[in-house]
Structure 1
């Protein structure tokens, strides 16, 4: 029984009850009467001042929020997350509060390093939040707090927050300079003087069997800015997407990432590409057909038609052909009329024939054109596939093919010279039924980058380009083999943190 006037918190502390349990008692007593939540030596005013700081949006209190000036200089204190986890958290008076279970940073849309805004601390079977401004010192062996009291409310993740253990360790990142997905096995936190920041990732796989077996792959710690995180938390991902750098990669590189990604990872990558519709279409052109088909299965008919409308007609035709039969007509009806006509025309040919491989958008000019006029046609053809512009197709009065002239010959010629003087009057051409082998042999024998496809009246139907032939000829097992090791590329940071 408590003696008259004795405060239950004072009794608990006098009996040597651990601080964490005292705080639990304080929380329970607060439900009986607000003053029970106060330390017996505190006034109501001082309790607010000395209690746990209200949780803000994650910006460290009383700290400079610019964390870019010193990170990565190599002379600042550094802590590895793997060693910080489970480190004891100690109050100002030396009482054990709990252990570090995770570290919280806030991702920004700019180039600053993510600032550490707090810790997730395990206390008595629950997880609580400890703000960065309540931390007096941070080492790999112990975290010292500035106060004796902590807020024992259960930790709840907020939008834009990134948990380093939950979201980073063992997860994959986009290595932007090298365009590949890599695992992060450890993290370096660095003290910039204005606060701790996430500075580097270590992609080396940990050694096995007590360090006796070293694992191959990965690299030493590398600058955080070389990576783009894959964030499972939807609202944090939305905030990060503004500053994402996936769009700096080439379409083929993004396609490779998608083919290596899990379904969840692929969804995040595509989300970051969709803000650039032209890039999204280019990515789908580069994707393996099976992968593209699976991604289209998860998209609405309207979204699929939107992507197909910006793709090359031959690639769009292949993609429509790979759709489920029940979706084809609906998607085709949603395409713009001009694109729909091209796609339907190409779908009438065997996919492995010249008609199925050709691009029907080509550059043409009449026989009376000059070199300058032919070049102006090429210059204006901004929406055509660049490979299809390597040759100008010269048409007669009935739109029949009378010759071809290379863009190099046009550039080197006098601008006033007529194209008939420069053109090959008997160019190699194929019918729509020509198969892939015949086309490849012709290109090899005559050193051709493009081959026009004509009908029986010599009207040009389209052109097959070398990249179409290469893509069709590459064996499937070549696509699945492991790529050769590449020298690591990394972004450089000056001593002031600027890229």
Structure 2
């Protein structure tokens, strides 16, 4: 194996391959243990394999690190990773930690860590890339950077204490929401709260949407009321409603009062429906246009980068107003159908005549059967006056069908759960979690 030093922050996201060249997963962190008179020793890598499971790969099973990829030898143990006492995750716990130089020349912050193979299959931390405090009052100024060996510095905080989350957040900057959620959940609880508090509102909102409800509540509770309301504003209304429903009623009302009025109105509407109905599953922000809108306008609307794929699969056509609850619902136009017509064609002439909307009180089981029977990605939801109030998308149904702890389930159970879900769709015997509180009390 090459004896060149490797910077840990650059390993994050690198692909891991087995000896045959098949992809195993991606590196999420490096695990080290402290030693009394030597630099910390690398014991292995934390690798995320398909199914979002994180496993431990011993450094002795790594045959090559370089060129953005890692080669392992033989099979790896796919048992879920559990951190042991004395082990330290470099990215999650060491980056951002404060150190002081032993020669009394000042303090610095660890921005990256270099590891190197010292003997056959033995790796250790050889250098720290650190940044000293800035000396200028300018808000754009930064301190100088330098390299230091482990022996030249000592930590200002004991292992396990909180440190600046800035560099860890930078490492997570390119992760997708589901991967960011998993990365946060892998952190020690206090560290998770610290990093969550420093994430931008929209990034934290996206990550919360991918977490189990108990962890959502824990993070939201750790935030101040004003910050929590800002994060809820950035969440999809249905996800925000599900989260608020898990809070004590008084706390939920406080947060709703602090949210933007339009966002809070959508959430209150969703909370008024039972959780096992179309109204309880739907999102209130579909793409809505008039019958006179053209194909070109419709395609421009679904081209928005912030639009979820399921919502971009079809456009709702209504009479004014064009925000839920709208004027009378006229129909839907599917994305594929728009592609078959010239840009100037009016969407009112392309409505899917075979798709009927469901009422807000339609059962979740019936909505699921409609989506499955007609191979739909979404189905419109109307009120008693035939006004569009939202759409139920396939991901809304999947979130409902899967058990509450599906994000943390081992992938060994996936086949059985999928088979059970398919059987539920066919028979209508869908379990009713009953996790959302209605406006009139517990459902």
- Alignment TM-score, normalising by the size of structure 1: 0.53
Correspondence list, 1:66-465, <5 A: 74-76=1-3, 164=40, 175=47, 181-182=54-55, 216-217=77-78, 228-231=91-94, 234-235=97-98, 236=110, 237-238=163-164, 241=167, 244-267=170-193, 270=196, 274-379=198-303, 383-396=306-319, 399-465=327-393
Between structure 1 and structure 2, the one with the greater Rg is 1
- Does 2:401 align with 1:473? yes
Cα gap change, 1:369/1:228 in structure 2, threshold over 3 Å: closer, same or farther? same
Deviations 1:233-286 (A, max 9, x none): 853542871684222221112223444554145336536xx4443221111011
SS of structure 2 residue aligned to 1:248? coil
Verify the 8 A CA contact 1:187 1:202 in the aligned structure 2: no
Aligned-residue offset at 1:329: 2.1
Verify the 8 A CA contact 2:9 2:91 in the aligned structure 1: no
Cα gap change, 1:421/1:233 in structure 2, threshold over 3 Å: closer, same or farther? closer
SS of structure 2 residue aligned to 1:410? helix
Deviations 1:304-325 (A, max 9, x none): 1121110001111111111122
Cα gap change, 1:403/1:474 in structure 2, threshold over 3 Å: closer, same or farther? same
Number of matched pairs: 310
Verify the 8 A CA contact 1:432 1:454 in the aligned structure 2: yes
SS of structure 2 residue aligned to 1:369? coil
Aligned-residue offset at 1:180: 5.4
Cα gap change, 1:363/1:202 in structure 2, threshold over 3 Å: closer, same or farther? closer
SS of structure 2 residue aligned to 1:351? coil
What is the rounded CA distance, in whole Å, between the counterparts of 1:401 and 1:422 in structure 2? Answer: 14
SS of structure 1 residue aligned to 2:392? strand
Aligned-residue offset at 1:452: 0.5
Cα gap change, 1:466/1:108 in structure 2, threshold over 3 Å: closer, same or farther? closer
Deviations 1:204-251 (A, max 9, x none): 9xxxxxxxxx99458xxxxxxx97343398535428716842222211
Verify the 8 A CA contact 1:450 1:464 in the aligned structure 2: yes
What is the rounded CA distance, in whole Å, between the counterparts of 1:340 and 1:483 in structure 2? Answer: 37
Q: Which segment is superposed worse, 421-430 or 346-355?
A: 421-430
Cα gap change, 1:258/1:108 in structure 2, threshold over 3 Å: closer, same or farther? closer
Verify the 8 A CA contact 2:212 2:404 in the aligned structure 1: no
The structure that is strand-richer by fraction is 2
SS of structure 1 residue aligned to 2:384? coil
- For structure 1, the residue ranges without an aligned partner over 5 or more in a row are 1-73, 79-104, 113-118, 123-142, 144-162, 189-199, 205-213, 219-225, 486-499
Cα gap change, 1:321/1:423 in structure 2, threshold over 3 Å: closer, same or farther? same
What is the rounded CA distance, in whole Å, between the counterparts of 2:8 and 2:182 in structure 1? Answer: 27
Deviations 1:71-112 (A, max 9, x none): xxx34399xxxxxxxxxxxxxxxxxxxxxxxxxx9x898899
- Alignment TM-score, normalising by the size of structure 2: 0.59
SS of structure 2 residue aligned to 1:228? helix
What is the rounded CA distance, in whole Å, between the counterparts of 2:189 and 2:286 in structure 1? Answer: 37
- For structure 2, the residue ranges without an aligned partner over 5 or more in a row are 13-33, 62-68, 80-88, 99-109, 111-162, 322-326, 414-443
Aligned-residue offset at 1:420: 2.9
TM-align CA RMSD: 4.3
Verify the 8 A CA contact 1:109 1:241 in the aligned structure 2: no
What is the rounded CA distance, in whole Å, between the counterparts of 1:245 and 1:111 in structure 2? Answer: 10
What is the rounded CA distance, in whole Å, between the counterparts of 2:211 and 2:56 in structure 1? Answer: 23
SS of structure 2 residue aligned to 1:452? strand
Aligned-residue offset at 1:408: 1.3
